[in-house]
Amino acid sequence: MSNNMNGTNKGKRLSRRKFIVRGGLGSIGLLALGSCVFINPLRRSAYGISESLVLPYSGKGTEANLWFEFTTENTLIFHSPKVEMGQGIFTGYAQIIADELDIHIDQIIVQAAATNTGILDRFTTGGSLSIAQLYKPLREMAAMMRQMILNEAANKLNIGKNALILRNGMIEYTGGALSYAKALEGVKDWKLPKKFDLKSNSEFKHIGKPIARVDLEDKIVGAPIFGTDAEMENMLHATILRPEHIGSKMREVNYSEAEKMPGVVRVVEGDGWLGIVAETFSEALAARRKVNVSWDIPKIWTEKDLRAYLKVGEGKRMVTQKEGSALEKEDEACISMEFSSPIGAHAQMEPNGAVAKVENGKAIIIMSTQSIGATQKSVAKALGFKTKDVNVVAKYLGGGFGRRLDTSHAVEVALMAREVGRPIKYSFTRKEEFQNDMFRPPTHHIVKGKMAPNGRLSHLEHHYASGDVAINSLLMPPAMSKMLGTDVGAMRGANVMYGNIKNRRAVQWHKTLPFATSFWRSLGLLANTFAIESFIDEMALNHQIDPIQLRLDSLAEDETQTRIKKVIQLAAEKSQYQNELQGNRAMGFAASIDVGAPCAHVAEVSLINNVLKVEKVTCVFDCGLAVNPDQVKAQCEGSIIMGISAAMHEKMGIKDGRLYPINYGTYDMALMKHSPKEIDVHLIQGVDDPLPVGEPPLGPIAAAIGNAIRRLTGKRLTDLPMKLA
């Protein structure tokens, strides 16, 4: 195991990180230690960043964006710049801190940082990066704080540092013990140690262990931890009326009847929306039914229109991969297949919303958001306030999946709160949620390939059309989109990963759709992998080649390619992959690599009474160092089930010019009965540092299922969701 920070302080490595020390952030703090996590984006090529979407986690480089606070209660508060939306990162952070700080995990409180506790994270919580990005900075912070505590204790006790043992938040010495809090008490003049030690991987007691989630108890007793649970004194409730037709605008609105409804306090006219503010949420909803609106609808969109608008050959063309030569148009040996995926809804369980208070030139916004910093800025701009006068307090998120990277509705709540002069809680209705999602864009794919006489693929081309994923999102600065020209989100998983296929092409066709599309867990990966891995499977079947062998033969020899091979081999072995039909069951195989983390799935699908069911999934995933293997497995299970839902159930459509459906049930999703009874996850540690976890396992699932269905029915299903006619 290589660890270049083994045991000793690699001073040069750490010097780029600035540490800042204060007496405490609040009244309870004894010591606050801040750090600037700053990676100069110019150090990496813009294309390199975009390909992996591993965007630099950065503030301005001068202000601390990570804060530890040690309290008189002998607890450590980590003000996390990343939010917890189910990924289990708060638990991972606690494990990392516990190991480097020699503190008991129960003595650590991880909470989402409010904007006024120093957080300035431009790049939000997303991309499965929360653990991977902060792994080293957090270890260094914790090790630094440990050193400070040790130094203070040695001073106070007048004992040599070597005679002190730090354990469970206590400093043990011959004849006694001192708590960390006691050691820090009364210190006025803080000194940053020049040297501190990091633990070696073999010394980890928490990292790498399946420790129970730190938020587990709260989540099973129904503790009020979510954005929608927040309350403020004297608070009112609001609902918002928005356009329902794609591209439509409010023309005339009459709310005189609504204003007279019980409990209604005010109707607020916004820019393109109407807010109904009442004493209770149900009164606001009841009043909303009494509003009469007429709409300007420039065009009644249909699904046919959309399909004609978004397809390979239309829109902005960008070559995202070019190796060797392209296929000739007239090549008769070339095989071509077409695939598609529909509009996808996030359908996260907690509706969007926020509680806002605007008073004396200051605003407080409490909400569930993946974009704390951006929300703060947009609210400040809308109110004409300085950024620092807006405090965004992020709570636990009832699901994110990319939906809460845009939380522009915080502006609307803030404007209503200012106009009414009382705090307001606003919540989306479920219909509003489904019609105003930042959808996963539909996609269209043409995959072409050619088999060489030696039974290996000589050519593989992936042409893919997508709506916006990263382009026009706040995660991708316009300048970067322009520079790259490519939608780097739609590109996830689009390039052919098989290095031994000498002639590879990936061509993107991008268009901005008439409704908002953006990040949906794993971005383009799910649909792109579906197209490519279904195609490869079909090639193997056509040429009667073992699909595992065809994949292995298609991979080259370098380190990453070898990691992909290992994942494929282990998945075949653990699943005891069978290429032939087994009664009413069949197996399907697929693999992908996303943000450096390869994953392979074997789906075992049954066909009974014309009903398809995924009975078992074997998953092999190389995520590097798994800080919490149990939670990595949970992410794999979740990705598999969400992937089954997307592959076999979900589809947003357009009905009478509106995005439809508008509720669970009508929006068909995987339920308990659709979930596999067996999910067998095997983790490989192909590198020593943690890699992104939350999205890569979504990659191969749709293709794995499709490949099983092909063997079960003889039919190649090429459109998601896959349904038997």
Partner 1 sequence: MKHTIIGFAILALILTMSQAVQSSNNIGQNKARNKEEVEVIISDKPFDKMMAVLLHKRCVNCHPDGDIPLQGEDSHLHHFDIERGPNDHGLAGYTCETCHSTENNIFSGVPGAPHWALAPRSMAWEGKSRVEIAQQMMDPARNGGRSPKEIEKHLTEHELVLWAWDPGVDAEGIEREKPPVSKEDFIEAVKQWIADGAIIPDK
Partner 2 sequence: MKISFKINKEERLVDVDGNTPLLWVIRDILHLKGTKFGCGKAACGACTIHVDGKAVRSCSMPIKMVAEKKITTIEGLSDGKLLHPVQEAWKKEVVPQCGYCQPGFIMATAAMLDKIPNPTDEDIDQNIINVCRCGTYYRMRKAIHLAASLMDKDEQ
Contacts with partner 2 by CB under 8 A lie at 85-88, 212-213, 215-226, 228-229, 231, 237, 262, 280-283, 285, 346-351, 396-401, 427, 429-430, 630, 634, 637-642, 645, 663-665, 669-673, 675-677, 679
Give per-residue burial for 162-191: e unless 16+ CB within 10 Å, then b: eebebebbbbebeeeebbbbbbbeebeeee
Least distance in angstroms from the C-beta of 461 to partner 2: 33
Among 4, 233, 666, 677, binds partner 1 (CB under 8 A): 666
Burial class (CB in 10 A: 0-12, 13-18, 19+), 557: exposed
Q: Residue 507's beta-bridge partner residues?
A: 319, 463
Q: Which stretch binds partner 1 (CB under 8 A): 162-170, 322-330, 513-521, 667-675?
A: 667-675
Judged by CB, which is closer to partner 2: 237, or 444?
237
Site string for partner 1, 255-284 (x = CB under 8 A): ---------------------------x--
Amino acid at 219: K
Site string for partner 1, 590-629 (x = CB under 8 A): ----------------------------------------
Judged by CB, which is closer to partner 2: 596, or 638?
638
Q: Could you give the 3-state DSSP secondary structure of residue 28?
A: coil
**Cβ atoms 432, 347 nearer than 8 A:** no
Amino acid at 622: D
Which tokens hold the place of 396?
């636990």
Which tokens hold the place of 564?
């992909």
Q: Which stretch binds partner 1 (CB under 8 A): 253-261, 440-448, 476-484, 645-653?
A: 645-653
Among 1, 42, 221, 725, binds partner 1 (CB under 8 A): 725
Least distance in angstroms from the C-beta of 265 to partner 2: 15
Is 654 a binding residue for partner 1 by CB under 8 A? The answer is: yes
Is 667 a binding residue for partner 1 by CB under 8 A? The answer is: yes
Q: For 559-564, which contacts have Cβ atoms below 8 Å and span 24 or more sequence positions?
A: 560/593, 560/596, 560/598, 561/499, 561/500, 563/598, 563/622, 563/684, 563/686, 563/687, 564/497, 564/591, 564/593, 564/598
Judged by CB, which is closer to partner 1: 347, or 491?
347
Among 79, 651, 682, 710, binds partner 1 (CB under 8 A): 651
Footprint (CB under 8 A) of partner 1, residues 428-467: 431
Count of residues near partner 1 by CB under 8 A: 26
Judged by CB, which is closer to partner 2: 460, or 636?
636
Q: Residue 167's beta-bridge partner residues?
A: 170
What value does the CA radius of gyration of the chain take, rounded to a whole number of Å? 27
Judged by CB, which is closer to partner 1: 457, or 648?
648
Whole-angstrom CA distances from 171 to 206, 207, 368 are: 19, 22, 38
Q: Residue 401's beta-bridge partner residues?
A: none
Identify each DSSP E strand in 324-434 by its residue range.
335-341, 353-359, 362-367, 390-394, 424-427
Question: Could you tell me which residues come within 8 angstroms of residue 717 by beta carbon, excluding any fewer than 6 positions away?
Answer: 706, 709, 710, 723
Q: Which stretch binds partner 1 (CB under 8 A): 473-481, 540-548, 650-658, 680-688?
A: 650-658
Binding partner selected for residue 660 from partner 1, partner 2, none, CB under the kind-specific 5 to 8 Å limit: partner 1
Task: Quote the CA–CA distance of 633 and 593 in Å, as a whole number.
Answer: 17
Task: Quote the CA–CA distance of 417 and 425 in Å, as a whole number.
Answer: 9
Query: DSSP alpha helices (H): ranges in 555-658?
Result: 559-575, 629-648
Judged by CB, which is closer to partner 1: 284, or 446?
284
**Cβ atoms 499, 533 nearer than 8 A:** no
Judged by CB, which is closer to partner 1: 410, or 717?
717
Among 63, 218, 279, 303, binds partner 1 (CB under 8 A): 303
Is 723 a binding residue for partner 1 by CB under 8 A? The answer is: yes
For the four alpha carbons of 108, 109, 112 and 118, in that order, the dihedral sign comes to negative
Least distance in angstroms from the C-beta of 248 to partner 1: 17
Judged by CB, which is closer to partner 1: 347, or 662?
662
Other beta carbons within 10 angstroms of residue 303's beta carbon come to 16
Is 671 a binding residue for partner 1 by CB under 8 A? The answer is: yes
Q: Which stretch binds partner 1 (CB under 8 A): 418-426, 482-490, 552-560, 715-723?
A: 715-723
Q: Could you give the 3-state DSSP secondary structure of residue 35?
A: strand
Burial class (CB in 10 A: 0-12, 13-18, 19+), 566: middle
Least distance in angstroms from the C-beta of 423 to partner 2: 13
DSSP, residue by residue, 233-251: TT-EEEEEE---BTT-EEE
Among 197, 630, 668, 680, binds partner 1 (CB under 8 A): 668
Binding partner selected for residue 668 from partner 1, partner 2, none, CB under the kind-specific 5 to 8 Å limit: partner 1
Least distance in angstroms from the C-beta of 235 to partner 2: 9
Judged by CB, which is closer to partner 1: 136, or 444?
444
Judged by CB, which is closer to partner 1: 302, or 606?
302
Least distance in angstroms from the C-beta of 350 to partner 2: 5
Least distance in angstroms from the C-beta of 570 to partner 2: 21
Task: Quote the CA–CA distance of 496 and 480 in Å, as a whole number.
Answer: 24
**Cβ atoms 196, 8 nearer than 8 A:** no
Judged by CB, which is closer to partner 2: 285, or 516?
285
**Cβ atoms 669, 347 nearer than 8 A:** yes
Tokens 């006068």 belong to: 389
Judged by CB, which is closer to partner 1: 435, or 631?
435
Judged by CB, which is closer to partner 2: 612, or 634?
634
Least distance in angstroms from the C-beta of 48 to partner 2: 31
Is 719 a binding residue for partner 1 by CB under 8 A? The answer is: yes
Judged by CB, which is closer to partner 1: 17, or 431?
431
Least distance in angstroms from the C-beta of 168 to partner 2: 23
Least distance in angstroms from the C-beta of 663 to partner 1: 6
Question: Could you tell me which residues come within 8 angstroms of residue 605 by beta carbon, excluding any fewer than 6 positions away?
Answer: 585, 586, 587, 588, 612, 613, 614, 615, 705, 708, 709, 712
Which tokens hold the place of 390?
């807006």
Q: Which stretch binds partner 1 (CB under 8 A): 252-260, 285-293, 330-338, 393-401?
A: 285-293
> Is residue 721 reached through a cis peptide bond, with omega within 30 degrees of 0 on the bond before it?
yes
Judged by CB, which is closer to partner 2: 572, or 634?
634
Name the site residues for partner 1 (rule: CB under 8 A).
282, 285-286, 289, 303, 431, 649, 651, 653-655, 660-668, 671, 673, 719, 721, 723, 725
